[in-house]
Structure 1
Amino acid sequence: MTEWIDVQDAGDGVSKLVLQRGPVNALTPAFLDEIEAEIARLAQDDNVRAILIASAFRTFSAGMDLKEASAFDTESQSAVVDALNRCYLTLYSCPKPVVCAVSGGAIAGGLFFVLASDHRVATPDASFGLAEVRVGVNFPIVALEIARAMLAPNDLRRLMQSGQPYRCAQAAEAGIVDVVVGPEELQQEALAAARRLARLPAQAYAQVKAQIRGALSADMAAALPENRNSWFNDETRAAMARVLEGQG
């Protein structure tokens, strides 16, 4: 267990990684570093055969902590871009099955945990969005490439260029969500899915996943040194302020 993550042994080879940076799992460089470190650790643990990512709150993750981000200087902007890229790359490249249990919002940076996972379970109230354009920033390279790999062109266009979210039914139709269950069933269904995946031959699963994702993972890793530049533009702080005030 770390400051913002509770790692639980869920039995049958499943480790449950519960995000608990209240109230909405808003992302910061330090939080992203903790998530990356835990995923990397679990990926190397031979006793772990599947990973389940869940939230301790009604919201899965609201994305970047805008209150903190609005005060970022150039160095902090580079640090958060680097943290986002490394965290998402580690998750996308994880050789083990990863299941996501989603309720409430998985917005902006929060959605990439869903897109990078292997199986997604959600409740009817869940929403899924890429709000970066609304807060005046573009996409870090790893986030962009994961979105391109996991979303159909028209869903990519609608989500990324409008900044407006999909409701759960839309997300299921788009293939962002695999299973929709009631709130009282979410954790049970997600755990059952993780246990099913954990029973598969581990080496074969890792090899097949690498066949699907390995080339893109290598390309993204190679691009990281060139993508540590500042993130904001002349419009960013004003756009973040509007969103924080409920006007964006």
Structure 2
Amino acid sequence: MFQKSLLNTRLNNGILKVEINRPEQLNALNSQVLRELDEIVDQIISGQDIKAAFIIGSGEKAFVAGADIKELSGLSGDGARKLSQTGHHLFSKIENCPKPIIAAVNGLALGGGLELAMACHFRIASEQARFGQPEINLGIIPGYGGTQRLIRYIGKGKATELMMTGDFINAQEALQLGLVNHLTPKDQLTTKVLELLYKIIAKSSGAISKVIECANAYYQQNGFEVEIDSFAACFDTQDSQEGIQAFIDKRKPEFKGK
């Protein structure tokens, strides 16, 4: 059966626009989106006509509002480990791409959506954007690199608070914390993104790739492996089953610490 692409792409003057097109699901990351993103990043890396890229969400409400919760339902620890490893592989590929990839955060960036945005080389957000890692409400933790990257960007104290409470922050606070580089009115977001990318791709592409390589080298550690193990362990608990099912049922979860 033919499967419609969930990504819209457009190349213009060396800059590839990658739009996640699931507006009715707030652009949630399901397995197809992850697979298509992985293929697109390979094209960005290898395509001689692609100098840079940016990722944006379709519609008015969300960049990416998280992972597709229905795909998490019923996952075992082993299944969760494989899912986490898939996300880590993709987001590491984005982070280490030798060409600039910017997140254009046009709305909600939650859970896996914030993790995707943080894997990009930097973030530009609309004034209406909101950010958070609310996985704790499902009885699990971020599994696509969020436990590590959020601390890198905003510091251990605030990041730990957000991951423990599941609270959101608005665009202005995200700017103050250093999570985003620039804020713009929503109708000027793409213009600002292109302005910065055209400025960057006018420089030496070799030097740009070395900036990316050296910036990423600053954070070399094994925290990502710890996250994968911890994410997988969460799915062997009753609390995660309850949290995910409660989300699907649109009710408040009743966690029992098991």
Aligned: 1:204 with 2:192: no
Q: Which of these residues, 240, 243, 251, is aligned with residue 239 of structure 1? A: 243
* Within-5 A mapping of 1:21-60: 21-23=22-24, 24-58=26-60, 59-60=62-63
Change beyond 3 A, Cα 1:224–1:63: closer
Query: Greater relative contact order (Cα 8 A, min sep 6): structure 1 or 2?
Result: 1
CA distance in 1, matches of 2:76, 2:214: 40
CA distance in 2, matches of 1:183, 1:35: 24
Aligned: 1:182 with 2:182: no
Aligned position for 1:20? 21
Q: Deviations over 1:107-144 (max 9, x none)?
A: 01100122122232211211000111111112337333
Aligned position for 2:10? 8
Work out the percentage of aligned pairs sharing the same amino acid: 19
Are the counterparts in 2 of residues 99 and 193 from structure 1 also a CA contact under 8 Å? Answer: no
CA distance in 2, matches of 1:155, 1:126: 18
Are the counterparts in 2 of residues 89 and 220 from structure 1 also a CA contact under 8 Å? Answer: no
* Greater alpha carbon shift after TM alignment, 198-207 vs 234-243: 234-243
TM superposition shift of 1:201: 1.0
**How many pairs were matched up?**
246
TM superposition shift of 1:215: 6.0
CA distance in 2, matches of 1:220, 1:202: 30
CA distance in 2, matches of 1:141, 1:55: 18
CA distance in 1, matches of 2:12, 2:162: 34
CA distance in 1, matches of 2:187, 2:44: 27
Q: Deviations over 1:42-98 (max 9, x none)?
A: 022222211111111221111111123223345542332122111111111111111
Determine helix, strand or coil for the equivalent of 1:39. Answer: helix
Aligned: 1:122 with 2:96: no
Q: Deviations over 1:146-173 (max 9, x none)?
A: 2232231222122211111101111111
Report the AA paired with residue 240 of structure 2.
T
Determine helix, strand or coil for the equivalent of 1:3. Answer: coil
* Within-5 A mapping of 1:94-105: 94-105=97-108
The unaligned stretches of length 5 or more in structure 1 are: none
Determine helix, strand or coil for the equivalent of 1:247. Answer: coil
* Greater alpha carbon shift after TM alignment, 106-115 vs 135-144: 135-144
TM superposition shift of 1:10: 2.4
TM superposition shift of 1:30: 2.8
Aligned position for 2:115? 112
Are the counterparts in 1 of residues 112 and 142 from structure 2 also a CA contact under 8 Å? Answer: no
CA distance in 2, matches of 1:224, 1:239: 19
Determine helix, strand or coil for the equivalent of 2:19. Answer: strand
Are the counterparts in 2 of residues 92 and 217 from structure 1 also a CA contact under 8 Å? Answer: no
Are the counterparts in 1 of residues 6 and 32 from structure 2 also a CA contact under 8 Å? Answer: no
The unaligned stretches of length 5 or more in structure 2 are: 254-258
Aligned position for 1:162? 165
* Within-5 A mapping of 1:131-142: 131-140=134-143, 142=145
TM superposition shift of 1:22: 3.5
Consecutive aligned runs of 4 or more in structure 1 exceeding 6 Å deviation: 220-228
Are the counterparts in 2 of residues 49 and 198 from structure 1 also a CA contact under 8 Å? Answer: yes
Aligned: 1:144 with 2:147: yes
CA distance in 1, matches of 2:227, 2:242: 28
CA RMSD of aligned residues (A): 2.6
Are the counterparts in 1 of residues 65 and 108 from structure 2 also a CA contact under 8 Å? Answer: yes
